[in-house]
Amino acid sequence: MKTILHFFAALLMLAPLAQAQAQSAAVSGLVQSKKGELLPGINVHIKHSARGTATDANGRFTLPALPQDTLVITGVGYIAQEIVVRNQRNLQVQLTDDATALNEVIVVGYGTQKKSDLTGSITSISEEQFKKSPVVSLDNGLKGRAAGVQVTTTSGQPGGATSIRIRGSNSVNTGAEPLYVIDGFPVYNDNSAAAAGATVGPKLNALALINPNDIVSIEVLKDASAAAVYGARGANGVVLVTTRKGKEGPTRFDFNAFYGIQQVPKKLPLLNATDFANLVNDANGTQVYTPDQIKSFGEGTHWQDLIFRTAPEQNYQLGASGGDAKTKYALSFNYFNQAGIVINSNFKRYAARFNLERQATSRLSFGNNFTIARTDANQALSATAGGEGTQGVIEEALAFNPILKVRNPDGTYVLQSDRGIPMGNPVATAKDLLNNSSTYRILGNVYANYKILEGLDLRSSVGVDVINTKEKYYAPRTVLSGYNVNGQAIVSSANSTSWLNENTLTYHHVFNKHALTALGGFTVQKYNRESVTTSASGFVNDLQKADNIGAGAIIGAPATNVNNWQLASFIGRINYAFKDRYLLTLTERVDGSSKFGTNNKFGYFPSGSVAWKLSEEDFIKQLHVFSELKIRASYGKIGNQEIASYQSLAGLSNMSYVIGDQVVKGYSPGNIPNSDLKWESTAQTDIGLDAGLFNGRLNLTADWYNKKTTDMLLLVNVPWSTGFSSALQNIGSVQNRGIELGINAAIIDKQFKWNVNFNIAANRNKVLSLGPVSQILTGEINGYLKISNPVVVQAGHPISSFYGYVSDGIFQTGDDISNSAQPTAVPGDRKYKDINPDGKLDASDRKFIGNADPKYFGGMTHDFFYKGFDLSATFNWVYGNTILNSTRAELDLPTGQKNSAARVKHRWTPTNPSNSIPRASLNRAFLFSNAQLESGSYFRLGVLSLGYTLPASWLQAAHIQQLRVYASAINLFTITHYTGYDPEGNQTGQGNILRGVDADTYPTPKAYMVGLNLNF
């Protein structure tokens, strides 16, 4: 009986537990980042017991029933979360990136470091930041992201080039673009040299061959401590690019796509046909068009409407990654197609990438990074280019007679404006001019790592960068320049190969309170480029275009070119830490280059930096304010070798001579040799502060720097008695000084999140010395006006300083003229200030009137998150720079020989005493002055993107891990007083001197797009 009672008592005690188990099943869920990426290896623990698990490769976890318990979810680099379970069966957890992330690993030259251990000035841009907006090339994605990094879109052409300045321009004649290191392979983005050949006008961006969708991180090395490891090529800064690698787990597929349309942001207001006819009569002082004719003209032809279009843009990317404990892989395929907003301009890219990592043994691992790409482009020539006589389509659209039609009654194009200046039909130029380039690129390396001893590793890699470019240019009879010569063809082919071998030995050891990492290495790189160009004109017809150049009646002399250089380098670096708070970095690189003279083949580039982690000191910890507080200081020397090869050697130039009745070839000295030619050397001091407050919710970085470049590689004028006009020498110096500030703040960090990234920089550039040279003149810029020497380089002024007359309005009466320095002027002419003053207007009355470098520039991004929604707005701005608006200079001349701006309707007349637009006149006499300069300041909403990540529970049945759909607007609005198409436009691309010159530049489009990111 007692036994039976005990049995029933046990049943009564177990009944609640049995009931609870009957009512509760296992709790499962998934963990993802705030951008929707599923996170493997995240720890999930039950708060009140020892039970726990980790998310699998798909970001999922399963735990026993938890009717009322709490889960604690933690992961490296993410902020921990506590989730109260209230009889829930399925959970979806979103972890926020840890803003402090001091253990985050940053890629540095030839290795990695913890972010908290950095002693140099490095800005890191994550994949999430970089991919907020679709971009054609990786350099476009840097805009507004890093303090002190000014990114300028020099042309809105599809695949067009950008120019990047990191802490200013260091030199006058040498290249000033940063060095890009893509998965360890150094690449210099010199578009003018890389694309020299048949195509005319702005060159394609060499970096557009690299698919930006493959990039997972970008580090920008700004100071000497960070960049000195690249020695002779680090003076302009270094951009380290890392592409996607595989992760352990089952194969994961990613599909990303977007489709959009592009539009010209604005069109320039011009005179219509009626207003233009009145201008022609006014300028000629006679009735060229009768009143009845003028009345019949009406609005006339709007040429801008005919060459601009709404253009589609699309991108498709498929990737796969995965692996196991020993082998990891990532591969991707990309197709990008961008039609230009100018008819018949376009850019296409086909790209594939394969990255592999293999742990062969416990000591040996190896892998590869490999990409292959092809681009096809037809570029619209926007402005007049020298040599071939072809006018640009935008230049023509702004200037062509609005009275004329597109075609004659017989259907042929109206080829030439009838007002005295040769001017081609813009529609014909846009539709029929062939300006095509096709480029193949193979970029990759294979590497092996061998652990010799514990803490001692050897790494060796071999890489190659092969570029093959074919270019075709053909101007048919339907284009003015082709009509004059019965068709003109230019064909070019160029092949370049760069191979690289790098070998490094790294030692790492921690003992007591000391940590030491030492790196030593040897690298060698060899570059070779060969090109051939040929041309012809006088074709029977235009049917074969440039495909049968032998059919031309007049064959141009073919030209071939070979260029090669070699670089051998030794690298050494020591990182030392004491008590994880006192940090020291010493770097030395020795470079030997074939570009320099026999007496200076090797250059030495040392640097040193220190840092103090104040946040590790007790007296700072007691404040309970800083999650991070570190001060940094560095000094070092870095170099610049970006000049053409063979400059130190005695070259020969081929010449043609007539002896008797025969033309014979011969050679003459081509340049003055300089056996002492060496690198430019840039010494840089940097003092920085890194701080984190409010448990990492507010982080800031501030830097002050001072750079001085000496031994500039300068083309110096020499006496004509030498037989030459100039010689390359190491003369002169340039200084850049500035401050940078970057702020990252999590303003709201609850269910609704608001994060802000902000940066601003100020750089002051000044030429300190030009040696024996008093000044450097810049020659003419393209355009009908042929503005001469608009920029003068002179000690005491910035490199890009505009030099000209000072406009003082318009002469109104004869009395104004009699009291001026312009006695031959008449009322309505432009008046200039007599700066001397000596009573006459001449070259001595010119002065420095503007500067193309901004006083301040920066960017700002606002990110908002609520449940599955995300909203991102990225702004960038430039303030205090000046632009030479050559387009406006042309449009404001009321000659009636070509069309003018609509504001010319308000030109000076005896009854309309305008003080800005001179009188109508056939006289095109022109003096460059501040009247042609405008403020280039602007504030731009570069990217506005709204996305929604679908709940995982909706996608489980389809075995989809993550699906995000979004809509974006690019360049939605720009606040500026600039009257041209775009305040970023720059005719000279990447040049140092003629920056900020806008001469009919291809506009940067506004774009709207929709897309999706799919993981499965």
Which run of H or E residues covers position 530?
A: strand 514-537
* Residues in CB range of 743: below 8 A, 6 or more apart: 698, 699, 700, 756, 757, 758, 759
21 band by pLDDT with thresholds 50, 70 and 90: very low
- pLDDT given for residue 198 in this prediction: 54
54-84 pLDDT, tens digit each: 787 678 888 877 767 788 887 755 777 778 8
Say yes or no to pLDDT of 193 above 50: no
8 band by pLDDT with thresholds 50, 70 and 90: very low
606 band by pLDDT with thresholds 50, 70 and 90: very high
255-312 pLDDT, tens digit each: 999 999 999 999 999 999 999 999 999 999 999 999 999 999 999 999 999 999 999 9
- pLDDT given for residue 762 in this prediction: 97
Domain residue spans of the chain: 20-95, 105-267+308-390+433-773+853-881+936-1015, 801-849
* pLDDT (mean) for 203-208: 74
Q: Which of 188-202, 221-235, 336-350, 721-735 bottoms out in mean pLDDT, i.e. has the lowest?
A: 188-202
- pLDDT given for residue 114 in this prediction: 87
Burial 486-525 (b: 16+ CB within 10 A, else e): bbbbbbbbbebbbbbebebebeeeeeeeebbbbbbbebeb
Say yes or no to pLDDT of 184 above 60: yes
203 band by pLDDT with thresholds 50, 70 and 90: low
* Residues in CB range of 397: below 8 A, 6 or more apart: 303, 304, 306, 307, 426
- pLDDT given for residue 61 in this prediction: 84
Say yes or no to pLDDT of 228 above 50: yes
Q: Which of 18-22, 466-470, 623-627 bottoms out in mean pLDDT, i.e. has the lowest?
A: 18-22
Which run of H or E residues covers position 297?
A: helix 291-297
- pTM, two decimals, is 0.87
Give Cα 624 distance to the centre of its chain. Answer: 41
Say yes or no to pLDDT of 196 above 70: no
12 band by pLDDT with thresholds 50, 70 and 90: very low
Q: In angstroms, rounded to a whole number, what is the distance separating the alpha carbons of residues 147 and 763?
A: 11
Say yes or no to pLDDT of 622 above 70: yes
Count Cβ atoms below 10 Å from residue 474 Cβ, excluding itself. 24
506-558 pLDDT, tens digit each: 999 998 899 999 999 999 999 999 999 999 999 999 999 999 999 999 999 88
6 band by pLDDT with thresholds 50, 70 and 90: very low
* Residues in CB range of 538: below 8 A, 6 or more apart: 485, 486, 487, 552, 553, 554
**Do residues 149 and 141 make contact, with C-beta atoms less than 8 angstroms apart?**
no
* pLDDT (mean) for 354-366: 95
| Alpha helices, DSSP H, located in 487-624 | 618-621
Say yes or no to pLDDT of 182 above 80: yes
* Three-class SS state of 557: coil
Sheet with 60-63, side-by-side order of all strands: 60-63, 27-33, 90-95
- pLDDT given for residue 77 in this prediction: 59
- pLDDT given for residue 746 in this prediction: 93
- pLDDT given for residue 13 in this prediction: 41
**Architecture of the domain made up of 105-267+308-390+433-773+853-881+936-1015:** Beta Barrel (2.40)
- pLDDT given for residue 368 in this prediction: 96
- pLDDT given for residue 35 in this prediction: 63
491 band by pLDDT with thresholds 50, 70 and 90: very high
Q: Which amino acid is at 689?
A: L
- pLDDT given for residue 819 in this prediction: 86
Task: Give the length of the chain.
Answer: 1016
916-935 pLDDT, tens digit each: 999 999 987 789 999 999 99
Q: Which fold has domain 20-95?
A: Immunoglobulin-like (2.60.40)
Which run of H or E residues covers position 847?
A: strand 847-851
Angle at 42 between CA 41 and CA 44, to 5 degrees: 125
Q: In angstroms, rounded to a whole number, what is the distance separating the alpha carbons of residues 575 and 570?
A: 17
Q: Which amino acid is at 752?
A: F
Q: In angstroms, rounded to a whole number, what is the distance separating the alpha carbons of residues 185 and 501?
A: 10
Give the residue carrying structure tokens 């708060």. 47
Say yes or no to pLDDT of 389 above 50: no
**Do residues 926 and 785 make contact, with C-beta atoms less than 8 angstroms apart?**
yes
* Three-class SS state of 844: helix
Q: Label residue 366 left, alpha or beta by phi (over 0 means left) and psi (-120 to 50 means alpha).
A: beta
Give Cα 1002 distance to the centre of its chain. Answer: 16
Say yes or no to pLDDT of 722 above 80: no
Q: Which of 119-128, 188-197, 220-229 bottoms out in mean pLDDT, i.e. has the lowest?
A: 188-197
717 band by pLDDT with thresholds 50, 70 and 90: confident
764-799 pLDDT, tens digit each: 999 999 988 888 888 777 656 678 889 999 999 999
- Greater pLDDT, 116 or 571: 571
User: Are both 20-95 and 105-267+308-390+433-773+853-881+936-1015 of the same fold?
Assistant: no
* pLDDT (mean) for 896-903: 94
Q: In angstroms, rounded to a whole number, what is the distance separating the alpha carbons of residues 47 and 397?
A: 71
Average pLDDT value over all residues in the chain: 88
- pLDDT given for residue 985 in this prediction: 75
944-956 pLDDT, tens digit each: 999 999 998 888 8
Q: Write phi, then psi, for 531 (nearest 5 degrees).
A: -145, 155
**Do residues 265 and 1006 make contact, with C-beta atoms less than 8 angstroms apart?**
yes
Torsion of CA 542, 547, 550, 554, to 10 degrees: 50
* pLDDT (mean) for 316-325: 93
- Greater pLDDT, 958 or 131: 958
155 band by pLDDT with thresholds 50, 70 and 90: confident
Q: In angstroms, rounded to a whole number, what is the distance separating the alpha carbons of residues 914 and 708?
A: 47
Query: Which residues partner with 521 through β-bridges?
Result: 504, 571
- pLDDT given for residue 252 in this prediction: 92
22-47 pLDDT, tens digit each: 344 678 888 887 666 778 778 787 87
175 band by pLDDT with thresholds 50, 70 and 90: confident
DSSP sequence for 629-687: EEEEEEEEEEEE--S-TTTTS--EEEEEEEETTEEEEEEEE-S---TT---EEEEEEEE
388 band by pLDDT with thresholds 50, 70 and 90: very low
